[in-house]
Chain A
Amino acid sequence: MYKNFFRYLISAIFLLGFSVNSNADFKVGFVYVGPTGDHGWTFQHHEGRNAVEAAGIKTTFVESVPEGADAERVIRQLAQSGHDLIFTTSFGYMDPTNKVAKDFPNVKFEHATGYKREHSNVSTYSARFYEGRTLLGHIAGKMTKTNTIGYIASFPIPEVIRGINAMTLAAQKVNPNIKTKIVWVFTWYDPGKEAEAAQALIDQGADVIMQHTDSTAPVQTAEKAGVWSFGQASDMQRFAPKSILTSIIDDWAPYYVERAIAARDGTWNQQDTWHGLKEGMVAMGPYNSAMGADLVKEVEQLQKDLASGKVHSFTGPIYDQKGNILVAEGKVADDGMLAGMSVYVKGVEGDIPK
């Protein structure tokens, strides 16, 4: 009697073990750097996850995972607990993702905004946020009265420097006297510090504030001080309805759904994806009517031209701070140069922290 019972039990356990690997239980894991309710970066990734879930695929997520040793532990845990595809959604997860990928060759990994694909089961993907920054630069150049644009920067990585440069180049085109002031806060997410940085820039005469950090604190500070601002990663308009001119919106949903289905159906391949306004991975929030109808029209045209490829954010001649030529006249920067961008263009104040 008991002998049979154990036999059943063991076979049941085996069946359970198999079913974890079968198609029906295909699972996708997400690792987030902030809380899902940050209304910025992580919020948008979470929207992407919801779309995957809506497509009938099981998902799990872990939020507020610090970049570093903790990240590796979390990614490893997801891989061990039967996830078939794991999205790691912050730059700092680059090395942990590759490390775990080595130990789990059957699990697929998708790392956001990184460039390392050390194993065949690691893909990278990012959005051409700099196209959005070009639009912000154009608007900022036209809207500023003090000719000073304040920029709250997180970490000195190519992604952030590219955004600063794209914005400055576009602003210079419409207003040659523009100055970009930068404050590095060395965090993606610290509302107190982000608010203080915004205030410091406003006190230094910046009347347009933009951020490459994830909380809504800077736009709220701008609203209070009565200066212009831009939403980052998601539409932050309701946090600062008067101040926000537009937002850069990251739309990961189509990509996530496509990749999850590919992984489930066995058609997943290693890729390096870099989509922009054209594919809709970068979108713009509603334009504030305070910009005036003419400027809105101008910016909408520029948005179309960037999407169609008629205009490129990095069109020569582009000089660095010392006046050396970076991109020759009539040329555009290639993706390799953009991906490794590590110098400021002319017109940006200060040095990049090492």
Chain B
Amino acid sequence: MSLDISFIGILIGSIMASSVPLILAASGELITERSGVLNLGVEGMMIIGAISGFALMVITDNLFIAIVGSMLSGVIISLIFGFLTQSLLTNHVATGLALTIFGIGLSAMLGKNFVGIPGKEFPVLFSSLRESIPFFGPILFGHSIVLYFAFALPFLTNYFLKKTKLGLVVRAVGDSPVSASNQGINVILVRYCCILYGGAMCGLAGAYLSLIYTPQWIENMTAGRGWIALALVVFATWSPIKVLIGALIFGGITILQLHMQAIGFRIPVQFLSALPYLMTIIVLVVISRDSRKIKLNTPTSLGRIFYKEK
């Protein structure tokens, strides 16, 4: 039972499952940032999504309503951020941080009555194929629909940004809101939409944790994953495909260090625990060697307040 081929398949399957919340939240935040808005409230929106999804599951006993509701809750809470930053022109960084603190507190309060209730089993697709195909089975099959969606999302996002007119509009708004505005684009409206979309994806990422990954509600259960997702967007230099790779590296090393302990590698546990962060730094350094490539995708007006003179 050490490193045979079918085990590696299982391992990759677990890594994929653990990286889903990172992919979802980071992909959502990526669109928000490409429109020039820096929302540091990812962690707060995720935790609100987690409690909303779980609470709706308990109340309605319907997983579909729970999933949709978690996305809606992300939209509602990001609307607060949107209103403050776009309509009242508050500072993005301060407002985003406040949103995270608010989300964590609010979710703890809302969740009081939902602690300790066992979750419901979330249906998985093609579970029979998972068992029957040796290596590829656990990688490709037996996952929840949210996982398949998460793995398609970076490609869809990439297509959206590069090949569609709307994607071009988002990029234009992020790079030069003044020129975009002069072209007749409603910059504020576009940014609102991107913020709300980011909120929906973060809500879904939270619901993945409370409904699928560890089906239960506990205070602060996102445990910093929102911050990792935020870092991933920068780490991926605002490219959706690199978000996917980064999430897999980070999820992979987190899972691997637990497996290395279980296998019995004689490496200090503290070093293994620090490994995901070390790897992130190393990859970051490697990627940022070519500054021209980074500039290509960086939204130039990121975090700057835009207002239309009348």
Q: Give A contacts to B, CB under 8 Å.
A: 35-39, 43, 64, 146, 148, 150, 181-186, 189-193, 195-197, 199-201, 203-206, 215-217, 220, 224, 238-239, 349-351, 353-354
Contact = CB atoms under 8 A, between A and B. Distances in A.
A148 B266 CA distance: 19
B255 A196 contact: yes
Nearest to A239: B118
A36 to B, nearest CB: 8
Contact of A183 (B115, B119, B209, B258): B258
Given A186-B273, A196-B14, A196-B254, A38 B262 contact: no
Q: Which of B219, B223, B258, B268 has the most CB of A within 10 A?
A: B258
Interface of B: 1, 7, 10-11, 14, 18, 112, 115-116, 118-119, 121, 209, 213-216, 218-221, 223, 225, 254-255, 258-259, 261-264, 266, 268-270, 273
Contacts of B268: 353-354
Given A200-B261, A201-B262, A349-B264, 11 more contacts: A43-B116, A148-B1, A182-B261, A196-B14, A196-B254, A199-B14, A200-B14, A205-B1, A220-B216, A224-B121, A238-B118
B258 A220 contact: no
A193 B261 CA distance: 13
Nearest to A39: B116
A192 B261 contact: no
Contacts of B18: 192, 196
Given A197-B258, A203-B7, A350-B261, A220 B214 contact: yes
A353 B264 contact: no
A195 B219 contact: no
B64 to A, nearest CB: 21
A191 B264 contact: no
A195 B258 contact: no
A203 B209 contact: no
A103 B228 CA distance: 41
Closest 5 CB pairs of A and B: A37-B115, A205-B1, A200-B258, A37-B116, A204-B262
B269 A150 contact: no
Contacts of A349: 264
A204 B268 CA distance: 19
A192 B259 contact: no
A38 B259 CA distance: 26
Contacts of B213: 192, 195
Nearest to A183: B261
